[in-house]
A and B are shown apart, each in its own frame.
Chain A
Amino acid sequence: MVKKYGDIYASLFLMISAVVLYISTFSIKMLTVSKIGSAFAPQLVAIGIFIFSGILLRNSLKELKNKDTKENSNAQEGDNPQINYACLLGSVALMIVYLLLLNSVGFLIMTTGYIVLQISLLADKSERNILKFFIIAVISSVAIYYIFRSIFHVMLPSGILG
């Protein structure tokens, strides 16, 4: 589905965004005297996106017409390999939670948790060995945390541990 109409959705979305973008630049005040102020670049970008997504739209509509007339002679070539939405969305959710709690709970705990869960998400059922994952997670998190804090002075958030 994405393959056929993807470009059309994308270009329409972009054209609308471009318009919104352009309108938002009206609120940018001109603080300097020169003709080109801070609003110039965003406006240029907005116009550019609008024009080119317009071209994209036109091109994809043309292709769509061609494809229809050719009546999809080639078989669907094993269309989209099935997207494992569960795993995908799970990973995204996992990352978001990781991010949100990073400062408050601390790098050490959150990273351990993240690694364990992410590995479990990605791993095949046959390879699922929570204990092994947990050990890997703990070792890597601890190693990273201490090496970077003590040695490189990158102050990773200590969260509730300190």
Chain B
Amino acid sequence: MLEMLLAGFVSIFTFKSMSLITLGTLLGIIFGLIPGLTATMAVAICLPITYGMHPIEGMALLMGLYIGGVSGGLIPAILLKIPGTPSCISTTFDGYPMAQKGEAGKALSWSIIVSFIGGILSIIVLILIAPPLAKLAVKFGPYEYFAIAIFSLTLIASLAGDSLVKGILSGFFGVGFSLVGFAPIDAYPRFTFGFDELDGGFNLLPVLIGLFAVSEILLAAESKYKSKKQNHSFSISGYGIPLKEFFGQTWNMIRSSAIGIAIGILPGIGGGTANIIAYVAAKNQSKYPEKFGTGIPDGIVASESSNNSATGGALVPLISLGIPGDTVTAMLLGGLMLHGLQPGPLLFQTAGDVVYGIFASLIVANVVMVIFLYAGMKWFVKCLSVPQHILLPIITALCVVGAYGVNNRVFDVGALLFFGILGYIMMKFNFSVIPLVLGFILGPIAETNLRRGLMLSQGDFTPFLTEPIAAGFLLVTVFSVAMKVWKSRKQRKAATDAIDM
């Protein structure tokens, strides 16, 4: 296998391939950077140009786009509190506060390094144990997916911030909004009020960008940034990371990458969910959970390593079985097919050189990503130190482009605006927006799989509870919820005791 990998490297060390990877990564980063534009879009746009190329070269370009696109999102997440892509949502939790503390450089450094590590780890897994992992992944059916969705939904409890009740309500909103449109399975139109545009429901992107970015603008508008000196002069100085701190995060990195890989492997769930789960896991297993959200490396490490490791994870089912792990890999599937390659069990035999070329490209792309992000740091920060009153409107315009680009409809821009206003209102009433996003993503997964599972079992609920993997997840869910309730009871008791004293 090592020879094949080396052969793979050799095959991409042509000037053309290397430039393609480089350019692809750069373009991907730019797409990830702009809120509303995603890696999926980048791949979709560049797919046709790869037709005229040799498959290995075409794949090299697409891998660059993939890695760049997933990584680029961390920049606005840290510097603006706006996730560039759904996979960077939890980077905003600690990345932004860190930047606010004047440690933007450090935050960026952490993200970049950890993204690289997560990516490389997932590639190693991909190369070594893709086939058996993929075989395991197909064992996950509707019962299992439902259990995972429920489990992930309960993580809302850990993200709710001050008010658990409000967090749960926010989660319900999210699920509620996800219900708009044609229902899964029977395609019955729900909550469309006769508007054809609503048939498809809301797309995650305008929802996400609206809630995070547009609401920021409204917040800026309301306070009108009285203090002119609000310009965040991000200091990049000292973006080195002390080795001791770095090694202190090793376990976090490994665990978060593992979570990312696992979630990436499961088709239908991707980086967007992975980073949130990894963050919550890190918080719950940490010795100082209360510090999460104030700008500690742990949060960034968890988020960024998991979202990049999800890329390798998503490629596992694609390459071994021809089943895409997320939206980008779905495009890649189309791309592979149009190059005459059939992803599936025989891909290694019929086009092994392409497969190893892909692996090699991924590794190179990760390296290129690191180089570009580091080199560009000063430039990014400079760009974003433009006064808020100029920066925010331009960002809005870009968000509009991103929203429009989802389906080439103005409706999505309307959705953007709607959710922006909603996000603003929610913030005013002290409701956290994150559970909404989580509910929105997970609601459909839960509902669809619940109904599919019932179709399979013909109305019988038992398999949901007895299928081993599903049961396992449900047990973990029940356990963690119980722990949480117990803990908060203890806390409240201690608080009231303290007051009574």
Is there any pair of Cβ atoms, one from A and one from B, under 8 angstroms apart in the complex? yes
Chain A residues close to B by CB (< 8 Å): 2, 6-7, 10, 14, 21, 24, 28-29, 31-32, 34-38, 40-42, 45, 48-49, 52-53, 55-56, 59, 81, 83-85, 87-88, 90-92, 95-96, 98-99, 102-103, 111, 114-115, 118-119, 121-124, 126-127, 133, 136-137, 140-141, 144, 148, 152-157
Contacts of A115 in B (CB 8 A): 393-394, 397
Out of A35, A49, A53, A85, name the residue touching B176 (CB < 8 Å).
A49
A110 to chain B, nearest CB (A): 9
Contact between chains at B217 and A91 (CB < 8 Å): yes
Nearest to A90 among chain B residues (CB) is B221
B14 is an interface residue with CB less than 8 A from chain A: no
Q: How far is A81 from B420 in the complex, measured between Cα atoms in Å?
A: 21
Contact between chains at A38 and B421 (CB < 8 Å): no
Nearest to A120 among chain B residues (CB) is B389
Q: A34-B454, A34-B455, A36-B454 are in contact. Are A111 and B405 (CB under 8 A)?
A: no
What are 16 A-B interface contacts by the 8 Å CB criterion? A21-B176, A31-B187, A36-B450, A37-B186, A42-B179, A45-B175, A45-B176, A52-B169, A56-B169, A81-B223, A84-B221, A87-B221, A88-B218, A90-B221, A119-B390, A152-B45
B429 to chain A, nearest CB (A): 5
Q: Which of B95-103, B267-275, B406-414 contacts A (4 or more CB under 8 A)?
A: B406-414
B195 is an interface residue with CB less than 8 A from chain A: no
Interface of B is mostly: helix
Q: How far is A81 from B218 in the complex, measured between Cα atoms in Å?
A: 15
Q: How far is A91 from B388 in the complex, measured between Cα atoms in Å?
A: 14
Out of A42, A102, A121, A155, name the residue touching B190 (CB < 8 Å).
A42
Q: How far is A114 from B396 in the complex, measured between Cα atoms in Å?
A: 10
Q: How far is A96 from B421 in the complex, measured between Cα atoms in Å?
A: 11
Q: How far is A122 from B388 in the complex, measured between Cα atoms in Å?
A: 8
A81 to chain B, nearest CB (A): 6
Nearest to A2 among chain B residues (CB) is B428
Out of A37, A121, A123, A156, name the residue touching B404 (CB < 8 Å).
A156
B397 to chain A, nearest CB (A): 5
Contact between chains at A114 and B397 (CB < 8 Å): yes
Contacts of B168 in A (CB 8 A): 48, 52
Contact between chains at A99 and B176 (CB < 8 Å): no
Contacts of B169 in A (CB 8 A): 14, 49, 52-53, 56
Out of B165, B222, B228, B410, name the residue touching A99 (CB < 8 Å).
B410
Contacts of B125 in A (CB 8 A): none
Contact between chains at B398 and A84 (CB < 8 Å): no
Residues of chain B from 165 to 190 with CB closer than 8 A to chain A in the complex: 165-166, 168-169, 172-173, 175-176, 179, 183, 185-188, 190
Contact between chains at A41 and B179 (CB < 8 Å): yes
Out of A6, A88, A123, A133, name the residue touching B222 (CB < 8 Å).
A88
What mask results when residues 28 to 62 of chain B are scored 1 for a CB within 8 Å of chain A, else 0? 00000000000001000100000000000000000
Contact between chains at B186 and A32 (CB < 8 Å): yes
Contact between chains at B397 and A111 (CB < 8 Å): yes
Contacts of B417 in A (CB 8 A): 95-96, 99
Interface size of B in residues (CB-CB distance below 8 Å): 62
Chain B residues close to A by CB (< 8 Å): 41, 45, 163, 165-166, 168-169, 172-173, 175-176, 179, 183, 185-188, 190-191, 214, 217-218, 220-226, 228, 387-390, 392-394, 396-398, 400-401, 404-405, 408, 410, 413-414, 417, 420-421, 428-431, 443, 447, 450-451, 454-455, 459
Nearest to B170 among chain A residues (CB) is A52
Contacts of A36 in B (CB 8 A): 450-451, 454
Q: How far is A7 from B414 in the complex, measured between Cα atoms in Å?
A: 28
Contact between chains at B222 and A83 (CB < 8 Å): yes
Q: A49-B169, A144-B401 are in contact. Are A122 and B220 (CB under 8 A)?
A: yes
Most B C-beta atoms less than 10 A away, residue of A91, A140, A141: A91
A128 to chain B, nearest CB (A): 10
Nearest to A124 among chain B residues (CB) is B228
Contacts of B41 in A (CB 8 A): 152, 154
Q: How far is A153 from B49 in the complex, measured between Cα atoms in Å?
A: 12
B478 to chain A, nearest CB (A): 18
Q: How far is A49 from B443 in the complex, measured between Cα atoms in Å?
A: 14
Q: How far is A14 from B398 in the complex, measured between Cα atoms in Å?
A: 33
Q: How far is A37 from B450 in the complex, measured between Cα atoms in Å?
A: 10
Contacts of B218 in A (CB 8 A): 88, 91-92
Q: A32-B186, A36-B454, A52-B172 are in contact. Are A102 and B397 (CB under 8 A)?
A: no
Contact between chains at A141 and B228 (CB < 8 Å): no
Contact between chains at A91 and B172 (CB < 8 Å): no
A58 to chain B, nearest CB (A): 9
Contact between chains at A122 and B225 (CB < 8 Å): yes
Contacts of A99 in B (CB 8 A): 410, 413-414, 417
Contacts of A85 in B (CB 8 A): 222
Q: How far is A154 from B454 in the complex, measured between Cα atoms in Å?
A: 41
Contact between chains at B221 and A88 (CB < 8 Å): yes
Contacts of A148 in B (CB 8 A): 401, 405
Nearest to B393 among chain A residues (CB) is A118
Q: How far is A99 from B221 in the complex, measured between Cα atoms in Å?
A: 18
